[in-house]
Amino acid sequence: MKQTDFVEVKQMQVKCVLCDQIEDIDDDALQAKRLRNRKLNMYLCTPCNERIAKNTKKRHKSGNFHLFKEKKDTNDYL
C-alpha cells in the first residue's frame, strides 16, 4: 500500500440539535475532537451557531448590566 492511499481526510457526520441539518466536519477539527471526548454533547450548524452567538451576546449585555448593578450595590454597602 502506498502512503498516499493511506492518507485520506476523514470526516465526521454531525447533526445540528436545532434544525436537524447534517453537516460533515473534518475529523481533525476541534469540534469533532470535543464531540468524541464528550466535552461537547451537541452540535450546532454554522447558521444556528451564529444565531445563538448573537443571542448570547445580547443576553451577556443585559447580564453584565445586572452584574454591574449588583457590584455597585455591594460597593455601596462596604
CA of 33: how far to CAs of 6, 7, 51, 68, in Å? 21, 19, 23, 36
Distance between CA 63 and CA 21 in Å, rounded?
A: 31
Nearest distance from residue 42's CB to Zn ion, in Å?
11
Residue among 16 and 35 whose Cβ is closer to Zn ion = 16
Nearest distance from residue 22's CB to Zn ion, in Å?
10
> Which positions from 5 through 64 interact with Zn ion, judged by CB under 5 A?
16, 18-19, 21, 45, 48
Residue among 13 and 75 whose Cβ is closer to Zn ion = 13
Q: Where are the beta strands (DSSP E) in the chain?
A: 11-15, 22-26
